[in-house]
Amino acid sequence: MDANALRGHLDLILLATLEHAPLYGVRIIQEVQARTEGYFQFKEGTLYPALHRLEKQGLIVGELRPSDIGGPPRKYYHLSQKGRQELTRRQLEWQAFAQAMQAFGGTR
């Protein structure tokens, strides 16, 4: 996956990944890879700055919880109300874009 294409959609991907349950970094990466069948392979170090950015924007909220495998506490992120609205907005935007692009996709 081209890094620039990923960057353009990273926020939508992260917000959508957190839509149903709070997750921490490693689990977010696994979830993204599982949901896209490995299509999105991002450098993991870029995940945390992106999460921190979304947190600063008030779209997600981080919360420390103890690790169940005896390690350091994990930081779980969940969507805020504002994040949920932003996710819906971006999903609608993406759907409209994808629909418009169908005309050029050669599948008709």
Partner 1 sequence: MSRELDRYLSRATRGLWGKAKRDARAELASHVFERTRALITLGLSESEAQHRALRELGSALTVSSELVRVHTAPLAVRSAALAALVTLAAFTGAATLTRGVAQVDAYVHNDPLNALAFLDVEGLRDALDRQGATLSASPQQVTVRLPGGETVQIPLPGGEDRELELIQRDGRAFLNATRFVYALEQAGLPLTLEGWHNPTLHVGETALQLGSKDAPLDAYALFNFTLSSLVLDLEERVPLVAQRWSNPGARSTPYTLKVNEAPGTVMGVAVAWEGVNFKPGRALLFTDVAPVAADGTVTLKLPPEYRNVRFTSDLNGVKRDIADLKSTARPASLGQAGQPAHAVLLKLTGRLGFTDQRYTLVPNADRLPSH
In angstroms, rounded to a whole number, what is the distance separating the alpha carbons of residues 29 and 81? 23
Residue 101 beta carbon to partner 1: minimum distance, rounded to whole angstroms: 18
The residue whose two tokens read 């599948």 is 107
Q: Is 75 in the site for partner 1 (CB under 8 A)?
A: yes
Q: In the numeric block, which tokens belong to residue 1? A: 């996956």
Footprint on residues 15-34 left by partner 1 (CB under 8 A): 24-26
**Residues in touch with partner 1 (CB under 8 A):** 3-4, 7-8, 24-26, 43-46, 48-49, 52-53, 56, 67, 69, 71-75
